[in-house]
Structure 1
Amino acid sequence: MGGSAYRELVETDAEKLGDGWRWPLPDDPDGWVGLSNEDDRWMRSKAVPQPVGTLSTPLQRTEYASSHPSTYVLCTKNGMKESVLEMVRDLTERYGWERHELETGHWPMVTMPEDVVTLLGDASTHA
Structure 2
Amino acid sequence: MLVAGAWLGGWAWDEVASALREAGHEADAVTLSGLAERRDTPAGLRTHVKDVVDHVERHGLTDVVLVGHSYSGVPVGQAAELIGDRLRRVVFVDANVPVDGESFLDGFPSDHIRQALAASGGAWPPLPPAGYAGQDLTDEQIGRIVTEGTPHPGATLTEPAVLGRPLGELPATYVKCLMDGRDPAPSVAGLLKSDRWDLAEMETGHWPMFSRPRELARLLAEAAGEG
Q: TM-score when scaled to structure 2?
A: 0.45
The equivalent of 1:91 in structure 2 is 190
CA distance in structure 2 between the aligned counterparts of 1:64 and 1:87, rounded to whole angstroms: 16
Alpha carbons 1:35, 1:110 under 8 Å: kept: yes
The equivalent of 1:120 in structure 2 is 220
Structure 2: gaps (5+ residues): 1-106
- Deviation (angstroms), 1:47: 0.9
Q: 1:64 to 1:11 in 2, by over 3 A?
A: closer
1:74 is aligned, of 170, 176, 179, to 176
CA distance in structure 1 between the aligned counterparts of 2:190 and 2:135, rounded to whole angstroms: 24
The equivalent of 1:8 in structure 2 is 111
Q: Secondary structure at the match of 1:29?
A: helix
Q: Report sequence identity in percent.
A: 24
Greater alpha carbon shift after TM alignment, 111-120 vs 36-45: 36-45
Structure 1: gaps (5+ residues): none
| 1:47 maps onto 2:149 in alignment | yes
Q: TM-score when scaled to structure 1?
A: 0.74
Q: Aligned residue pairs: how many?
A: 119
CA distance in structure 2 between the aligned counterparts of 1:90 and 1:66, rounded to whole angstroms: 11
Superimposed CA distance per residue, residues 40-82 of structure 1 (whole angstroms, 9 cap, x where no aligned partner): 111122212223344444433334965431111111111x4x5
Greater alpha carbon shift after TM alignment, 115-124 vs 40-49: 40-49
Q: 1:123 to 1:69 in 2, by over 3 A?
A: same
Q: 1:110 to 1:11 in 2, by over 3 A?
A: same
- Deviation (angstroms), 1:3: 2.6
The equivalent of 1:103 in structure 2 is 203
